[in-house]
Structure 1
Amino acid sequence: MSGYVARVRHDDLSSRSAEFDLLVSSAAQRWHKVDPLLPVPAHPRASTYPLLTVSDGAGRPVAAGTMRYSWYQPGEPGRTWGVPDQHWLTPIVGGPDPGAALDSLLTHWRDQLEALPTGTGSESAAVLTWPSRDVCGVLPLQRHGLQPYGVLAVRGFRRGVPPSLPPRDVTIRLAGSGDVAQVVGLLMEEHRYEEAFGGVFIQAETAEQTRRVVARALSRSPSWIWLAERGGRPVGLVWASPPERAHWAAPLVSASPTAHIGYGVVAEEERGQGIGTALVSQVHQALDSYGIAVTLLNYAMMNPLSGPFWNRMGYRPLWTTWEIRPALALR
């Protein structure tokens, strides 16, 4: 590792495209071996965001990471989903010793963060995603102080529990334009629960922002929001996005078409009665009939309910989000 050299690039990489092609090919081979559902890594670019590269003694790149910074002002929706100042690294790591290459990349990323004039205060985070089954990265990530926070999980076609009916007095239907208040109420309950895991920060504007998003979703037909009711009272929902509404998720997995489940909620007093399983069962039947190859969803690793439930429903980790707060706590 001591022989690695790092630099930050802002220039065109076309003159060294062959070398970076080898880096991408090396990472792609390792990814395919550990998890065939991982996509081929995207070729690193220096035109949009700064690119941090690590090269071996012969000048060949063994790791590259696109550095991106997001800052959310008060009142913006992004303030609900994380700290205001977020420093992201998108790594591609190859070579004969990918663990050492990642370790060097993280060391030099810390140097870059330390040199920044702003955005690394107490309300900042250093964040990256890493393939969940690519275990060569776990120890380097831990050594630099990063902790696994979130999971992007994947379910293949017709995976999961057999079709399940809800309790006798519970009905499940597609939500419509008249259900805005019911859907918002359940989502805000979910937001309040997720605050305990440090990934959701409810703002004064969150309820109204949620209402606007829900109203827009329910104006479509079908809404792809399934609502469970007991005696006309909302007790749970699952909100899915078919491929035409989940374009952002497609590059994260090798199979297609791809759908995404954004929310799965059961009211606290109704949990453990099979409502969630019945909701997901109906959603899966719709997705499978739609010809969806894979369905993705996110959950917080520290949520004691999400991981076990979604695993029973046929999901398993594909990508893991690692982070450290504040950003300069990165070692």
Structure 2
Amino acid sequence: MSGYVARVRHDDPPDGTAEFDLLVGSVARRWAEIDPLLPAPSHPRLNTNPLLTVSDEAGRPMATGTMRYSWYQPGEIGRTWGVPDQHWITPLVGGPDPEGALDSLLTSWRDQLEELPSGTGSESAALLTWPARDVCGVRPLQRHGLQPFSVLAARRRRRGVPPSLPQRDVTIRLADMHDLAAVVSLVMEEHRYEEHFGGVFIQPETAEQTRRVVARALSRPPSWIWLAERRGRPVGLIWVSPPERARWVSPLVNAAPAAYIGYGVVAEEERGSGIGTALISQAHHALDTHGIAVTLLNYAVMNPLSGPFWHRMGYRPLWTTWEVRPALALR
């Protein structure tokens, strides 16, 4: 922390202050240089969350981090997607030494976590999202014990896909309400596989919660869920959220409109047969036809199937989520 001073703010920094404008401008220039798909950084604002600021000896902010805590109670759908206690920081790191500024910000964040009275036990995590191509952050993130956990990947419109393998006895069509049980079964198969990588925790309520979410998607024609069947037996699906159902991804990318792929599933006994490629080719044709500029999706870094497949399909990392469990394992 030599040369840097940390402060926690509970009031918004003035929007017009030159110091914060310089910080945001510095981040914007670096992001624009390293990745044209990154959005312009937002000016730090508190809303309901405290802001951690790291300044140099002259008082100029070199990094900020908005701190947020999420707690999921038993029965909430969020318990399926991570540990119950989640401590997030949203960093903006600029200046002439972004690596050193991020290192100082993480040290100060660790100090803040240590002062919390609860929520940092064995079922907790400290998490942040960092631009995948902003490599200056890798060493400080590693030094503080964080590990890359998941990737938000992006594919621009009309990016090529390998030709689909011929599929005997396989048909692909849009799913409807008659396919509710089949879609739920395939999504639950995906959940069970993803449990191996620590990002999904199946709860007693997960199957019923999944059924409700699937039913809602199938009730909105077109469903944007393509189902692959071999001689009438469901063997895979691709589930797309078009822009009007994926507004939450818009601030994460510098292209519009943006769609999101929530699930790409192939039944275990059918993997490697080309069904996944055929499904994504069908979805990409619809996305490109509708003028979707960019499509986003998440995959677990440790999943040995997802990353290689999606990279072949034209996707590349845009953001990486880094994590350490429990939260106080942050160094």
For normalisation by structure 2, the TM-score amounts to 0.98
Report the CA distance between 1:115 and its aligned residue. 0.2
Q: Secondary structure, in 3 states, of the residue corresponding to 1:118?
A: coil
1:129 touches 1:322 (CA, 8 Å); kept in 2? yes
Q: Counterpart in 1 of 2:238?
A: 238
Which residue identity is paired with 1:88?
W
2:15 touches 2:43 (CA, 8 Å); kept in 1? no
Q: Counterpart in 2 of 1:139?
A: 139
Q: Secondary structure, in 3 states, of the residue corresponding to 1:31?
A: helix
Report the CA distance between 1:163 and its aligned residue. 5.1
Structure 1 distance, partners of 2:163, 2:316, is: 19
Report the CA distance between 1:14 and its aligned residue. 1.5
Q: Counterpart in 2 of 1:270?
A: 270
Report the CA distance between 1:108 and its aligned residue. 0.2
Report the CA distance between 1:165 and its aligned residue. 5.8
After superposition, where does 1:274-313 map in structure 2 within 5 Å?
Answer: 274-313=274-313
Which residue identity is paired with 2:138?
V
Structure 1 distance, partners of 2:287, 2:143, is: 41
1:160 touches 1:312 (CA, 8 Å); kept in 2? no
Q: 2:131 matched to 1:119?
A: no
Structure 2 distance, partners of 1:68, 1:166, is: 49
Q: Can you list the C-alpha shifts for 1:39-75, whole angstroms capped at 9, x where unaligned?
A: 0111111232000000001100000000000000000
Which residue identity is paired with 1:218?
L
Moved more, 91-100 or 5-14: 5-14
Q: Can you list the C-alpha shifts for 1:242-261, whole angstroms capped at 9, x where unaligned?
A: 11011000000001110000
Q: Which runs of 5+ in 1 are unaligned?
A: none
C-alpha distance 166-264 of structure 1, shift in aligned 2 (>3 A): farther
Which residue identity is paired with 1:171?
T
Q: Counterpart in 1 of 2:208?
A: 208
Q: Can you list the C-alpha shifts for 1:176-206, whole angstroms capped at 9, x where unaligned?
A: 0111100000000000000000000000000
Report the CA distance between 1:160 and its aligned residue. 2.9
Q: Secondary structure, in 3 states, of the residue corresponding to 1:14?
A: coil
Q: Counterpart in 1 of 2:180?
A: 180
- Tell me the number of residue pairs that the alignment of Structure 1 and Structure 2 aligns: 331
Q: Secondary structure, in 3 states, of the residue corresponding to 1:113?
A: helix
Structure 2 distance, partners of 1:99, 1:23, is: 14
Q: Secondary structure, in 3 states, of the residue corresponding to 2:92?
A: strand
Q: Counterpart in 2 of 1:39?
A: 39
Q: Can you list the C-alpha shifts for 1:256-305, whole angstroms capped at 9, x where unaligned?
A: 11000000000000000100000000000000000011000000000000
Structure 1 distance, partners of 2:193, 2:111, is: 36
Structure 2 distance, partners of 1:60, 1:82, is: 36
Give aligned-pair identity as a percent.
80
Q: Counterpart in 1 of 2:103?
A: 103
Q: Counterpart in 2 of 1:2?
A: 2
Q: Which runs of 5+ in 2 are unaligned?
A: none
1:10 touches 1:47 (CA, 8 Å); kept in 2? no
Q: CA RMSD in A?
A: 1.0
Structure 2 distance, partners of 1:122, 1:16, is: 42
2:186 touches 2:267 (CA, 8 Å); kept in 1? yes
Q: 2:23 matched to 1:23?
A: yes
Q: 4+ residue runs of structure 1 moved beyond 3 angstroms?
A: none
Q: Counterpart in 2 of 1:319?
A: 319
After superposition, where does 1:47-86 map in structure 2 within 5 Å?
Answer: 47-86=47-86
